[in-house]
Amino acid sequence: MQIQILTVGKLKERYLVDGIAEYVKRLGPYAKVQMIEVPDEKAPENMSAAEEQQVRVKEGERLLAKLGADVYVVALAIDGEMWSSEQLAASLDKLATYGRSQVAFVIGGSLGLSSELLRRADMRLSFGRMTLPHQLMRLVLVEQIYRAMRINRGEPYHK
């Protein structure tokens, strides 16, 4: 399986960089994982709704440019479906079984994802109704993908 994790902005926090690198390394036997960062749009603190929309559109265009036509796209969105780790594992297993072995998980910037990117997504996935920093979400996501791969192989870890 080939997994892309597309994100907005450069990750700078060392503890997050190290944690993500550890899980990407652990995923090596299971999948090829590629982390792709696109630049974030400069966003002043007090923006109008129209300005926020423009930021999402620009960041969305950058993300969409990185997605291949045959890639199954999972948008991380607060209004998405909430799954257990086992459900994520079953979904990834089903995709691989039916020839959809290229999967891209997309994490938006601090203002979320553009409507264009959400329309391109094959599904929306939520990790809960609480807002998490998009930088931290990268680590949570890659850990859950690793957990899913272990579940699918019947290997210990997921309890």
Q: Which residues are annotated as a binding site?
A: 76, 108, 127-132
Q: What is the dihedral of CA 92, 57, 37, 1, to 10 degrees?
A: 20
Q: Which two tokens stand for residue 86?
A: 């086992």
Give residue for tokens 């390394």.
Answer: 25
- A 10 A CB-CB count for 27 gives 20
Give residue for tokens 């998490």.
Answer: 132
Question: What is the spatial distance between Cα 99 and Cα 103, in angstroms, rounded to a whole number?
Answer: 11
Give residue for tokens 């210990």.
Answer: 156
- List residues forming the annotated binding site for S-adenosyl-L-methionine: 76, 108, 127-132
Q: What are phi and psi of 120, to 5 degrees?
A: -70, -25
